[in-house]
Amino acid sequence: MAAFFAVQIFYPKNKYSKGKPFAAAGLSIYGYLLYLYTIAFRPRYSSPQYELTFLWSYKRALNGSAYLWIEIILNYILFLPVGMLAPILIRHGKRRKKKVFALTMLTGFFISLTVELSQLILQRGLMEWDDLLGNVLGTFLGYGIYLGVDTVWQHCMKLK
């Protein structure tokens, strides 16, 4: 992953490369901070911790758990950078927005899956499907922010 980002930073190729060094650096820093927050700084348990009941945290949150609402919202926020920065690296030439969207969502999914499986294998944190869902939704929201900013940017560039 780091090698891919390094290539993007040091070898931009065309007009679609504008912003790629920034996005690559941002995602590299984000990846490191994500590792620290989700794995390195978590306590190590004596056995793997997991919750396989889908939407369990949402059900408890709806029953009044303020702590779980915070956790759910933080999962969304945690993956906003993926949705905002990954499309900048993925777009190339006349690649259709649908393809950029699909690849961005897959990127968020696989990064989240890697985090969850690492937590399970390394026995740091709780592996749960709800986190995966929240992270993918965060990627989706981040992609929406990317589209909004990109639309405004393109409009401003046409005015010049």
**Angstrom distance (rounded) from CA 23 to CA 28:** 8
Helical segments of 11-128, H only:
20-35, 56-62, 66-78, 80-90, 97-122
Using the structure block, give the residue that is written with the tokens 């709800």.
130
**pTM assigned to the model:** 0.86
Q: Is the pLDDT of residue 10 over 90?
A: no
**Angstrom distance (rounded) from CA 144 to CA 79:** 12
Please tell me the predicted confidence (pLDDT) of residue 58: 96
Percent of the chain whose predicted confidence (pLDDT) is above 90: 72
The whole-angstrom distance between residue 133's C-alpha and the CA centroid of its chain comes to 11
Q: Is the pLDDT of residue 8 over 90?
A: no
The answer to whether the CB of 50 falls within 8 A of the CB of 127 is yes
Domain ranges within the chain, ordered by starting residue: 2-159
